[in-house]
């Protein structure tokens, strides 16, 4: 199985060396060095004052966390301008993704937009075409909402079998943040919709000028024209200064660097909703406008990049989400889906947002096949990969929400596998 990342490999080897008791000289030295900071000794950081305030005007994580980063899979795309970096899900907890770790997916690179030159046009089947500046958008009534964003291609490499060894790569095209912005409905009301208005086209100001058609009913429901994430302004990678938030729907319609909203009476059938982001079935027919992201879950730890470190008490931790509303329940299996137990959800349970689940258990060193299965408030149950393939075939790239299996080996290593 491909391990696309060097850093991960190194970490795992270091763990194995330690676990097998084959401590090399340098490892032993490092231990002796660090023991001087352990009880009953007074550690270095207590012997003298630390760095004063003001030297870190914008804070970064501890230097010991430098391994917690977005990663790429080099062979997935030909150019970095049209590529993806993945959220390190195995290194995070709770439901909020830190801004600097949100996966990025661009079709034409990151547009660096001067906020003074940011304009949002609204035209087409409206009574009054409008152009908003960023400040004008900020003066309108605000909403704050936590939503997940999942790329339709998340887990797309796994349709034909287990491929990538790490939940960062198999499931890391998802993030969940709090957005601040104005409801799209408010802008549409200001422009005044013509009676024939049925669809809306959102277009980005990036080099890809990425555009998608969205039914007006969704635009009037819960879409947000957002300019903040987790309190601060959007990051350039996430569409600074303005992006469209389309709760529960595939990431591709969440147009970043938003510059134009055109109102029409039918969809535009853009590139991203014809040759891409349609789902080719076994019959040769393709499903189009598969907007909603169905319920899905993944165990983030243990997972291939986060092996089990000790026998005895262990915490299984994972994420679940549904584009159709709230997650109602998450089940965990230790034996490849033969027996299921209800996981404990901790923290907020919000519509179209991630939830965090845990399952605590004692590990005696036996091989396990870990799975999780999400259920949402509509009663929908996350399917097995085989059940999904029966309906969808294996030609698809998009909308793979099948149940993931991690094999736990006796040495604590974890592998991406499939059970028959
Ligand atoms: N918007 C523009 N303008 N250009 C893009 O390339 N990529 C889309 C969408 N919006 C894209 C875009 C895709 S495919 C996804 S999955 C999401 O943005 C990714 O959002 P993120 O980079 O904030 O994770
Ligand atoms: Co995408």
Query: Strand 312-321's sheet: what is its strand order?
Result: 296-301, 312-321, 355-363, 344-346
Q: Is the CB of 105 under 6 A from ligand 1?
A: yes
Q: Is the CB of 255 under 6 A from ligand 1?
A: yes
CA distance 151 to 138: 27
Taking CA atoms only, the protein residue closest to ligand 1 atom 14 is: 252
CATH 2.60.40.650 domain locations along the chain: 296-417
Q: Using the Cα atoms of residue 185, residue 244, residue 144 and residue 139 in order, give the sign of their dihedral.
A: negative
CA distance 230 to 240: 13
Q: Is the CB of 147 under 6 A from ligand 1?
A: no
Give the DSSP letter of residue 266.
Answer: S
Closest CA to 417 of 368, 364, 362: 368
Ligand 1 center–CA 237 separation, angstroms: 9
Residues of the chain with pLDDT > 90: what percent? 89
Binned at pLDDT 50, 70 and 90, residue 13 comes out as: very low
* 3-class DSSP state of 403: coil
- Tens of pLDDT along 235-278? 999 999 999 999 999 999 999 999 999 999 999 999 999 989 99
CA distance 413 to 404: 16
CB atoms within 10 A of CB 390: 11
| Nearest ligand by distance to the CA of 202 | 1
Ligand 1 center–CA 279 separation, angstroms: 18
Q: Which helix (H) or strand (E) holds 134?
A: helix 134-138
Tokens standing for residue 32: 């002796």
The pick from 108, 151, 201 for probing ligand 1's pocket by mutation, whose C-beta has the most ligand atoms within 8 angstroms, reads: 151
The pLDDT, as a whole number, for residue 146 is 99
CA distance 100 to 84: 14
Q: Is the CB of 238 under 6 A from ligand 1?
A: yes
CATH 3.90.420.10 domain locations along the chain: 105-287
Ligand 1 center–CA 367 separation, angstroms: 39
Q: Which helix (H) or strand (E) holds 187?
A: helix 184-191
* 3-class DSSP state of 137: helix
Ligand 2 center–CA 206 separation, angstroms: 15
∠ CA(380), CA(382), CA(383), 5° rounding?
115
The pLDDT, as a whole number, for residue 22 is 37
CA distance 46 to 49: 7
β-bridge partners, 119: 133
CATH dotted code for 105-287: 3.90.420.10
Binned at pLDDT 50, 70 and 90, residue 364 comes out as: very high
Pick the CATH number of 296-417 from 3.60.9.10, 2.102.10.10, 1.10.260.40, 2.60.40.650: 2.60.40.650
Binned at pLDDT 50, 70 and 90, residue 21 comes out as: very low
Contact 408, 367 (CB under 8 A): yes
CA distance 78 to 414: 29
User: For residues 180, 184, 185 and 189, what is the CA-based torsion angle, rounded to 10 degrees?
Assistant: 120
Q: Is the CB of 85 under 6 A from ligand 1?
A: no
Average of per-residue pLDDT across 332-360:
98
Q: Is the CB of 273 under 6 A from ligand 1?
A: no
């Amino acid at each position: 199985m491909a391990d696309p990342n060097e850093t991960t490999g190194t970490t795992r080897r270091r763990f194995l060396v330690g676990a097998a008791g084959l401590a090399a000289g340098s490892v032993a030295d490092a231990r002796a060095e660090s023991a001087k900071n352990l009880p009953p000794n007074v550690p270095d950081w207590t012997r003298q004052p630390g760095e004063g305030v003001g030297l870190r005007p914008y804070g970064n994580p501890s230097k010991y966390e430098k391994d917690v980063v977005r990663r790429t899979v080099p062979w997935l795309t030909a150019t970095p301008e049209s590529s993806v970096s993945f959220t390190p899900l195995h290194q995070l907890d709770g439901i909020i993704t830190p801004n600097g770790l949100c996966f990025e997916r661009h079709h034409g690179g990151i547009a660096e937009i001067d906020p003074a030159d940011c304009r949002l046009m609204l035209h087409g089947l409206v009574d009054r075409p409008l152009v908003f500046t960023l400040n004008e958008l900020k003066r309108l009534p605000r909403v704050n909402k936590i939503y997940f964003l999942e790329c339709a291609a998340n887990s797309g490499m796994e349709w034909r079998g287990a491929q990538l060894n790490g939940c960062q790569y198999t499931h890391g095209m998802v993030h969940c943040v709090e957005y601040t912005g104005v409801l799209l409905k408010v802008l549409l009301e200001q422009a005044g919709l013509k009676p024939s208005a049925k669809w809306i086209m959102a277009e980005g100001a990036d080099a890809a000028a990425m555009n998608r058609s969205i039914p007006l009913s969704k635009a009037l429901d819960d879409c947000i024209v957002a300019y903040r994430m987790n309190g601060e302004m959007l990051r350039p990678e996430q569409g600074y200064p303005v992006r469209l938030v389309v709760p529960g729907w595939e990431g591709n319609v969440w147009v970043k660097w938003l510059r134009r909203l055109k109102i029409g009476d039918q969809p535009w059938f853009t590139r991203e909703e014809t040759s891409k982001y349609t789902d080719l079935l076994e019959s040769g027919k393709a499903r189009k406008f598969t907007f909603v992201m169905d319920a899905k879950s993944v165990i983030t730890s243990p997972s291939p990049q986060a092996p089990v470190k000790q026998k005895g008490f262990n915490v299984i931790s994972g994420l679940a989400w549904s584009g159709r509303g709230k997650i109602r329940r998450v089940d965990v299996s230790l034996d490849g889906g033969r027996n299921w137990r209800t996981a404990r959800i901790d923290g907020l349970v919000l519509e179209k947002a991630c939830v965090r689940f845990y399952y605590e258990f004692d590990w005696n060193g036996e091989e396990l096949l870990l799975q999780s299965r999400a259920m949402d408030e509509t009663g929908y149950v996350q399917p097995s990969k085989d059940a999904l393939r029966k309906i969808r075939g294996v030609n698809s790239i998009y909308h793979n929400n099948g149940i993931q299996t991690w094999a736990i080996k006796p040495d604590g290593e974890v592998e991406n596998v499939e059970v028959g």
